[in-house]
C-alpha cells in the first residue's frame, strides 16, 4: 500500500493539520500580544513627551507660551519609521505652539487608568495617516493665567506596526521550528508504535494456508488486542466452517455410498436372473432406488447452494418478496400431489407479509416444509399454509407430529426420526440453514389437531 494511504501518513497529515491550526491561532495571539505590547510602550513614550512639553509652559505679556524642549521630541529619534506631531492649547483652547488641526479626543474618550495623569489616548487620522494621540490636561497657574491647558502629541502607526510585525515573525519562526520538530518526533514515535503491527502482519503472512491457530495475544499491545481478538474469532468461525464442510462431505459420501452399493448389488442380482419377470422387477426397484438417490443428490446440492445464497444476502443481494404470493404459487404447484394422496391443501393469507431474502432459498424452504408435511399426513388429513403480518409463515399438518424431546435434533443433517419411513434426514436441516441465512426464527409446536405446526418468523422488510 502506498505511503500516502498508510496509517503513519494519515496520522502525520492530521497532526500537521492540527499544528497548522495551532500555528494560525498562535500567530493571531502573538500579533495581538505584540501589538498590545507595542501600544503600551509607545503610549508611555507619548505621555512622557506630553509631560516634557507641559514642563516648558510659561507666561509672557499675559499670554501662555510654550518652550518645547528638544528632548520632548527626541524620544522618537531612534525610530525613523514614524512621525511626531504636537500641539499646545491654552486655557481658552487657542493654539500656543505646534501643528494646526491636530484631532481632538472624541467626547466619550475616558481618562487613562494606567498612569497618574489627566490623559486620554485615542486613535484618529491626521494628514491622511492613522495616528495614535495622547491628550494631556495640564493645570496652569502662572501670573494672570489660571486654568487647564491641553497638550496633544500624535505619532503615526508605522513604528508600532513594525515592532508588532517583528515580534510576530520571531514568534512564527519559533512556532514553525517547534512544529517541524514535533512532526519529526511524532514520525519516530509512530514508527516505533507501529512496529508490533508489522510484527503481527509478518506473523500472519508466514503462516501456512491450513494454519488456523489463534494468534498469540501476549505479544500484542493493548490497542491491538481488539484486532487480534477479532482475527481469532474470524479464524474460529472459518475453522468451524471448514470442519462443517469436512463433516458434511464425509456424511454425504457415507449417505451416497450406501444407496449406490445397494443399487449396484441389486443390478448384479438382476443380471444373474433368467426370468424376464424378475428382470422387470429389478428394473422397477432400480428406478425407485435411482429416484431416492436423485432426491438425495438434489438435497445435497440444495445445502451447497445455501452457502452462496447466504453470501448474496450478506452482500446486499436480497430481494423484497411477499410471502403470501410465494405460498400461493407453491400451493398451486403442489395441489395435484396433495389431491392424489387424498390430502386437503389450504392457504390462509389475509395480510401481505414482505421480507428481504433470496427467492430460490425461500422457495426451497417452503417446498421442504410442505413436502415434509404431506409426507407425514395420512390420507384424509389436511395441510394448511398460513401467512401473517408482518412476516410470519406457518405450515401445519394432521400427521403424527414430532416428540418434544427430539425437536431440537430434527434440524441436524442426516437425522431420521423414523428410518423406516425413508428419506435422508436433510429436509428440515435445509430449512434450518435457510432460516439461519435469513436471520429468521423457526419453532416447532403441537398442531391444533395433534399434528405439527412449524412457525418461521422473518425480519420484516
Per residue in 169-208, pLDDT (tens digit) is 887 788 778 878 887 887 887 777 777 777 777 777 777 7
> What CATH number corresponds to the domain at position 354?
3.30.565.10
54 lies in some domain: yes
pLDDT value of residue 12: 77
Residue 254: is its pLDDT beyond 70?
no
> Among residues 166, 184, 200, which one ends one of the domains?
166
Backbone dihedral region for residue 252 (phi beyond 0: left; psi -120 to 50: alpha; all else: beta):
alpha
Domain of residue 106, CATH code = 3.30.450
| Rounded to 5°, angle at Cα 53 from 48 and 58 | 145
In a domain, 183, yes or no: no
Please say which residue of 108, 131, 166 terminates a domain.
166
Residue 344 within a domain: yes
Give the pLDDT of residue 105.
92
Report the distance separating Cα 415 and Cα 173, nearest Å. Answer: 80
266 exposure class (CB count in 10 Å sphere: 0-12, 13-18, 19+) = middle
In the predicted model, what is the mean pLDDT of residues 20-33?
79
Q: Return the bridge partners of 319, or none.
A: 357
- Residue 415, φ and ψ in degrees, nearest 5: -85, 125
This prediction has a pTM of 0.46
**Domain housing 440:** 319-457
User: How long a stretch of residues is the chain?
Assistant: 461
Residue 407 falls within a domain, yes or no?
A: yes
Question: Residue 427 pLDDT more than 90?
Answer: no
pLDDT digits (tens, 9 = 90+) for 336-384: 989 999 999 999 987 888 998 888 888 888 888 898 888 888 888 999 9
Q: 200-214 burial, b for 16+ CB within 10 Å, e for fewer?
A: beeeeeeeeeeebee
pLDDT digits (tens, 9 = 90+) for 108-130: 889 988 888 889 999 999 988 88
Residue 388 placed within a domain: yes
In a domain, 179, yes or no: no
- The string of pLDDT tens digits covering residues 80-112 is 456 888 899 998 889 988 888 899 999 888 998
What average pLDDT does the segment 159-167 reach? Answer: 73
Checking if the pLDDT of 4 tops 50, the result is no
List, for residues 293-320, the tens digit of each pLDDT value. 776 676 666 666 666 666 667 667 678 8
- CA 99, CA 204: separation in Å to the nearest integer? 86
Residue 324 resides in a domain? yes
* Number of domains comprising the chain: 2
Listed residues 166, 188, 219: the one ending a domain: 166
Report which of residues 255 and 440 the model is more confident about.
440
User: Would you say residue 45 lies in a domain?
Assistant: yes
Amino acid at each position: 500500500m502506498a505511503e500516502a494511504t498508510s496509517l503513519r501518513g494519515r496520522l502525520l497529515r492530521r497532526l500537521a493539520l492540527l499544528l497548522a491550526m495551532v500555528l494560525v491561532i498562535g500567530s493571531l495571539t502573538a500579533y495581538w500580544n505584540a501589538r498590545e505590547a507595542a501600544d503600551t510602550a509607545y503610549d508611555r513614550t507619548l505621555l512622557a513627551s506630553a509631560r516634557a512639553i507641559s514642563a516648558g509652559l510659561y507666561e509672557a505679556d499675559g499670554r501662555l507660551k510654550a518652550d518645547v524642549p528638544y528632548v520632548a521630541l527626541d524620544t522618537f529619534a531612534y525610530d525613523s519609521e514614524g512621525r511626531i506631531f504636537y500641539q499646545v492649547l491654552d486655557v481658552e483652547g487657542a493654539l500656543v505652539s505646534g501643528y494646526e488641526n491636530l484631532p481632538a479626543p472624541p467626547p466619550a474618550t475616558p481618562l487613562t487608568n494606567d498612569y497618574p495623569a489627566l490623559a486620554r489616548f485615542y486613535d484618529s487620522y491626521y494628514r491622511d495617516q492613522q495616528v495614535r494621540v495622547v491628550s494631556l490636561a495640564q493645570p496652569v497657574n502662572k501670573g494672570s493665567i489660571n486654568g487647564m491647558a491641553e497638550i496633544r502629541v500624535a505619532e503615526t502607526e508605522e513604528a508600532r506596526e513594525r515592532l508588532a510585525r517583528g515580534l510576530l515573525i520571531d514568534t512564527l519562526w519559533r512556532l514553525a521550528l517547534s512544529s517541524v520538530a514535533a512532526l519529526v518526533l511524532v514520525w519516530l514515535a509512530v514508527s516505533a508504535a507501529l512496529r508490533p503491527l508489522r510484527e503481527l502482519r509478518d506473523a500472519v503472512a508466514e503462516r501456512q494456508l491450513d494454519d488456523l491457530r489463534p494468534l498469540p495475544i501476549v505479544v500484542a499491545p493493548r490497542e491491538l488486542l481488539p484486532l487480534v481478538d477479532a482475527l481469532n474469532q474470524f479464524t474460529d468461525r472459518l475453522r468451524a466452517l471448514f470442519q462443517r464442510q469436512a463433516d458434511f462431505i464425509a456424511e454425504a459420501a457415507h449417505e451416497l455410498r450406501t444407496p449406490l452399493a445397494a443399487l449396484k448389488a441389486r443390478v448384479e442380482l438382476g443380471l444373474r436372473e433368467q426370468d424376464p419377470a424378475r428382470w422387470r422387477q429389478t428394473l422397477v426397484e432400480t428406478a425407485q432406488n435411482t429416484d431416492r438417490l436423485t432426491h438425495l443428490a438434489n438435497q445435497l446440492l440444495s445445502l451447497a447452494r445455501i452457502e452462496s445464497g447466504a453470501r448474496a444476502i450478506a452482500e446486499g443481494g436480497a430481494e423484497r418478496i411477499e410471502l403470501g404470493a410465494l405460498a400461493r404459487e407453491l400451493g398451486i404447484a403442489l395441489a395435484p400431489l396433495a389431491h392424489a394422496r387424498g390430502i386437503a391443501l389450504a392457504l390462509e393469507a389475509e395480510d401481505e407479509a414482505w421480507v428481504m431474502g433470496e427467492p430460490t432459498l425461500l422457495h426451497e424452504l417452503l417446498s421442504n416444509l410442505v413436502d415434509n408435511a404431506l409426507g407425514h399426513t395420512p390420507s384424509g388429513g389436511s395441510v394448511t399454509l398460513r401467512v401473517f403480518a408482518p412476516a410470519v409463515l406457518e405450515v401445519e399438518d394432521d400427521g403424527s407430529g414430532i416428540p418434544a424431546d427430539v425437536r431440537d435434533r430434527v434440524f441436524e443433517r442426516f437425522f431420521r426420526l423414523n428410518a423406516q419411513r425413508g428419506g435422508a434426514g436433510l429436509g428440515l436441516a435445509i430449512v434450518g440453514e435457510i432460516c439461519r441465512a435469513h436471520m429468521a426464527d423457526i419453532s416447532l409446536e403441537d398442531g391444533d389437531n395433534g399434528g405439527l405446526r412449524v412457525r418461521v418468523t422473518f425480519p420484516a422488510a
